[in-house]
Structure 1
Amino acid sequence: MSKKPDIVMIVTDQQRYDTIRALGARHMDTPNIDRLAARGVSFTNCHVTAPSCVPCRASLFSGYYPHTTGVLANGQEWSRTWISKLRQVGYHTVNIGKMHTIPYDAPAGFDERYVVENKDRYYEGRWFFDEWDKALAAHGLKKQQREEYRKRPDYRSRLGAFTWDLPPHLQSDNFVGGMTKWWLKTKPLEKPLFLVVGFPGPHPPYDPTPDYAEKYMKRDLPLPEVDEEELQQLPPPFVEKRHHDVEVDHDSVAWDLDPSREQLHRLRAYYYANVEMIDREVGEILDALEETGRLDNAIIIFTSDHGDCLGDHGLSQKWAPYEQVTRVPLIISASKRFQGGRMIDEMVQLFDLGPTILEWAGAPLEDSYEAISLNPALEGVDFKGRDHVFCEQGRDVNLTGADYLTMVRSRTHKLVHFAGQTYGQLFDLQNDPHERHNLWDAPEAAQIKQTLLTALMEWHVDSTVRTRNIRKRTVVPIAESA
């Protein structure tokens, strides 16, 4: 097709891979995302470059690993993106919802931004009023958040799971979906469109409307299986994280070191319900694209910035690079451009979307990009994917016990290295896919451990050489990033 495609990128926050029915999650109802999968290409082994929001998104929208961008933890400033390249080749660029730039309202290369940030904003940026805050205020309301939830007598037993009891259309994901439909139906536009829709969910607080919560509360759901042996093998930073998350209620989640099956069932029921609510909004966005004549020439991307442990490994939320956190759904749907109904199992990284999108648009790529294009896989030509994927994280508000950790994963094994420490993690993913048996000190695993440590060293060396000329250009003054 000669006409430049509209590109619609739907990014949820903190959505696990195992939450889409078409990708094997039989406990879920996701008919609209399933429709994308049926018509599109699903990358079943896509991993993020950071196990938390800000460093992952700075990496995704720059094409560089977190250590190259210098953004290794939440709250760190970033605004430079490849989105400005799309504007240079004629695209109108729009963000509706969450991007998690720092500052929140940095232009970041967009022509238009309608910012919606965290459901429960309590520390940095607490007094930034986004579009959702303003809509609630116009109705004489304010968002449900920690200061309100803490008044509940059952607050500490809920693990962050609360129903949204204000008007349903003002729930954050419903609101972002509604604003997207409004924009698509009312904005006259002759240029090709690049649209990033950032849903705040299913990031906590896990807050579906009561009807969706009730539906999943009635279901048998997969729950975490954690025993004392696994807990005893956790490295010190993750032990500290477990206790920290009990003491500090980040995102309205007051964790429990030994949650009951009832607590875990409710946590997951509300999380899954929130995903289905997003699925409904995805369907309505697709309908709006069709009504406005844009669907036939559109490429739709569905993905997330990282997952959520939801009690797996005894942990809450993210930061620890287990599969439940690093592996995310990635579906690219454009039935008139790419043969649909395919699953690609080669390993890729989420930030590989950058060069892929730029190629669709006919925009120039930087030789220094650490991300690679996925177009060979989409076009059905030879594609071997990556031999290793990498994920890294610096000290953060929840990860207080480690200065810097790095994950390297091959097809068969995963290693997690903690800077300056003699301990670490090593998992045989073929024989231990749930990552419960740490082989870091096992003599029989010494050779594979050294192989992965060498891969980690070579990655850093290659990265240093490749990006030596761009390290000071990943954050720009706000006035220059428009």
Structure 2
Amino acid sequence: MIRFKKLFLISGMLLVTGAGFAQKSRKPRQPNILIIVSDDHAYQAIGAYGSKMMATPGIDRLATEGAVFSNAFVTNSICGPSRACILTGKYSHINGFKDNMSRFDASQDLFVKRLQKAGYQTAWIGKMHLDTKPQGFDYWEILPGQGHYYNPDFITMTGKTVRRTGYVTNITTELAEKWLASRDASKPFCLVVGHKATHRVWMPDLQDLGRFDKTTFPLPDNFYDNYENRYAAAHQDMNIEKTLRLGYDLKVMQTSDIMGAENYNRMNDEQKMTYSAYYKKIEKEFISKNLSGKALTEWKFQRYMRDYLSTAASLDRNIGALLDYLDKTGEAQNTLVIYLSDQGFYMGEHGWFDKRFMYEESMKTPMLARFPGVIKPGTVYKDMVMNIDIAPTALNLAGLPVPKEVQGKSMLPLFKNTEHHPRDAVYYHYYEAGEHSVIPHFGVRTQRYKLIRFYQIADKWELYDLEKDPKEMHNRIDDPSYAAIRQQLRQQLDKLITTYADKEAAAILLKEQQGAAPGMNAR
């Protein structure tokens, strides 16, 4: 009997040991990837970037628990093209989606397709804005076009459009958590969450109405910019004084475009009642002031800031909620989270709202990342990174080869603090002619300098010394003291145009060399 018990005990120990060996020898599951993409979110409005405009505890968690990128840039500051760059890891002229009038070719190579083949569960939920049927995703539920803030429609995988009651930022998060809860937990996932916020016309969640009404925001130092020696800046149509509409944007003065009819008319009676009561009060105050001139312009600036930041409050809250969900489900430790906007945005700098330009507030985008055990909490990355770097980073993280056609660089060596070769310059090209009268342009940015070539509508060059002139007020293209810098930047620009195979930009510069267009010294 004792002998039998000894044999049973030994057998049990072998089983336990065997089970432990099997558990240790089992290949660990690949890391999950969560990419959160907002729309038109300014880094100037995020606490982790030093902003005092509002508290952003949800987004700031990524900085304290991970890293903030102080030099993250987009290749083309416009909504759809930015998302196309994220999916392909390639510039707009290569992936074919140059402006919002384009249609994205989803049949091309996308990083999510490669993850999918490698066993990842992939999904895109929320705003996609690529005017195409998604490919490379096991699941998707997306907003049609820009989508709406209230009671938004979602296009489902069946092809049917479903209207969901509520506020779009909350609904997008709820759908993302629902998918995470229902997926096959034995497989790694790659989820892209696309938020509509903070896109125009900045309609806050009901609970955030009036959040900043007692706050007076200081005017940016260059709010009343006179655009001296900057032709393109002088000819834009995206200024708060003239372009922001009282009804459409600021929700006062009952006109046919109050709150943007396509948005306001989607509300149910209860939502309309709350919204109308709030903005009627604002309108009454506005009428009583009888404003004009600078007083009117500055009133518009305050209303813009209050609506924009109130809309951003829900975005931040929902990002925090999604991070909480990962924590509660135990997925946080094995998940790379990247948050970025599709581009930067103006918060009154140069007197503007919107984006598009290669100037800092537009070209530079917020980007933060958390990856426990890999990214050291509280890290600030100063290396220049781009939105095209997300695709190779995801592939690299999954242990997959990065196709040579991908133009971005994996950030994983930066995260792991291994051999990393930072960029000495980044390339930019904006194509869309007409919208807000922004002139198409391309250029190069180094850590200190920026050289821009405007074309098509006007052939102009601009050069900025970002160390001495961080707000880009002084175009140094004709300054003799910058002649050597100008030549060096031109050589870097030519090199990047060749590297990224931008034939259109190359042709423009070739014509210039042949004398068909003004040279670098032309104003």
Range class of TM-score, shorter chain: 0.7 to 0.9
Q: Deviations over 1:331-361 (max 9, x none)?
A: 1101123322110111111211111111111
In 1: Cα distance, 2:310 partner to 2:345 partner? 15
The letter for the 1-side match of 2:208 is Y
In structure 1, stretches of 5+ residues that fail to align are: 122-127, 140-169, 467-482
The letter for the 1-side match of 2:142 is V
Match of 2:448 in 1: 412
Q: Deviations over 1:87-145 (max 9, x none)?
A: 01100100011122222xx1231111110245567xxxxxx953599554x65xxxxxx
Instruction: Decide whether aligned partners of structure 1 residues 313 and 452 sit closer, same or farther in structure 2, where only a CA change above 3 A counts.
Output: same
Larger radius of gyration: 2
% same residue: 27
Instruction: Decide whether aligned partners of structure 1 residues 300 and 222 sit closer, same or farther in structure 2, where only a CA change above 3 A counts.
Output: farther
The letter for the 1-side match of 2:140 is R
Match of 1:177 among 173, 176, 186: 173
Match of 2:22 in 1: none
Shift of 1:443: 2.6
Match of 1:355 in 2: 392
In 2: Cα distance, 1:243 partner to 1:14 partner? 16
Match of 2:50 in 1: 24
Instruction: Decide whether aligned partners of structure 1 residues 340 and 248 sit closer, same or farther in structure 2, where only a CA change above 3 A counts.
Output: closer
Kindly report structure 1 stretches of 4+ aligned residues shifted beyond 6 Å: 254-258
Match of 1:340 in 2: 377
Equivalent pair of 1:5/1:297 in contact (CA under 8 Å): yes
The letter for the 1-side match of 2:187 is K
Match of 2:154 among 109, 120, 130: 130
Shift of 1:271: 1.4
Match of 1:98 among 102, 113, 127: 127
Match of 1:208 among 204, 209, 212: 204
Q: Give the 3-state SS of the residue equivalent to 1:260 in structure 2.
A: helix
Higher deviation after alignment, 393-402 or 70-79: 393-402
In 1: Cα distance, 2:309 partner to 2:418 partner? 36
Equivalent pair of 2:239/2:351 in contact (CA under 8 Å): no
The letter for the 2-side match of 1:88 is K
The letter for the 2-side match of 1:379 is K
Shift of 1:3: 2.1
In 2: Cα distance, 1:226 partner to 1:377 partner? 35
Shift of 1:53: 1.1
Match of 1:279 among 312, 316, 328: 316
In 1: Cα distance, 2:389 partner to 2:40 partner? 19
Instruction: Decide whether aligned partners of structure 1 residues 217 and 368 sit closer, same or farther in structure 2, where only a CA change above 3 A counts.
Output: same
Match of 1:475 in 2: none
In structure 2, stretches of 5+ residues that fail to align are: 1-26, 252-291, 504-523
Match of 2:85 in 1: 59
TM-score computed with the length of structure 2 as normaliser = 0.74
Higher deviation after alignment, 311-320 or 324-333: 311-320
In 2: Cα distance, 1:317 partner to 1:413 partner? 23
Match of 1:89 in 2: 118
Equivalent pair of 1:39/1:340 in contact (CA under 8 Å): yes
Match of 1:440 in 2: 477
Equivalent pair of 2:240/2:297 in contact (CA under 8 Å): no
Residue correspondences, number: 426
State how 1:26-175 maps to structure 2 within 5 Å: 26-78=52-104, 79=106, 80=108, 81-103=110-132, 106-119=133-146, 130-131=154-155, 136=163, 170-175=166-171
Match of 2:14 in 1: none
Match of 2:30 in 1: 4
Instruction: Decide whether aligned partners of structure 1 residues 35 and 108 sit closer, same or farther in structure 2, where only a CA change above 3 A counts.
Output: same
Q: Give the 3-state SS of the residue equivalent to 1:458 in structure 2.
A: helix
Q: Give the 3-state SS of the residue equivalent to 1:233 in structure 2.
A: coil
For the pair 1:266 / 2:303, whether they are aligned, the reply is: yes
Q: Give the 3-state SS of the residue equivalent to 2:196 in structure 1.
A: strand
**Greater relative contact order, per chain length (Cα 8 Å cut-off, separation 6+):** 1
The letter for the 2-side match of 1:265 is Q
Equivalent pair of 1:247/1:254 in contact (CA under 8 Å): no
Instruction: Decide whether aligned partners of structure 1 residues 55 and 406 sit closer, same or farther in structure 2, where only a CA change above 3 A counts.
Output: same
Instruction: Decide whether aligned partners of structure 1 residues 323 and 229 sit closer, same or farther in structure 2, where only a CA change above 3 A counts.
Output: closer
Higher deviation after alignment, 77-86 or 420-429: 420-429
How large is the RMSD of aligned CA atoms in angstroms? 3.0
In 2: Cα distance, 1:120 partner to 1:407 partner? 32
